[in-house]
Amino acid sequence: MMMATIPRVSSECAEAVLHKALADNPVQFALDTLVKFHADQPELAAMIAHVADTLVGGVDDEEEEVAAFKEVQLTTIYALIGLTYGSIKAQIEADEMEDAWS
């Protein structure tokens, strides 16, 4: 059985995903990507969500400032996951297109 590998993401794919995230609303980008990630990789997404929630401690604190800070931390974590996941998907698509055209 041949094992699939994660492609090495080119700077062009990474930059394209980053530019899309920054051109759109970054918080919305994080949320949209998170929804796609959960749909495509439910077990991995659940594990990451559990670890992120454990590290940050949730956003249900009574103190508004603490809850707001935790929300920013979680949004940052999910934005980074979105950038990583989006970059890998973009690279796979770019590689498939290159194979089709060569």
Output the tens digit of pLDDT for each of the chain's 102 residues. Answer: 666 789 999 999 999 999 988 887 877 887 888 888 899 999 999 999 888 888 887 666 668 888 888 888 888 888 888 899 999 999 999 999 999 998
Residues 6+ positions from 75 with CB-CB distance below 8 Å: 27, 30
For residue 45 the two structure tokens come to: 């997404």
CA atoms within 13 A on the CB side of 78: 25
The CA distance from 28 to 79, in Å, is 9
Q: Tell me what pLDDT residue 79 has.
A: 85
CA 50 remoteness from chain centre: 15
What number of other Cβ atoms are within 10 A of residue 29's Cβ? 21
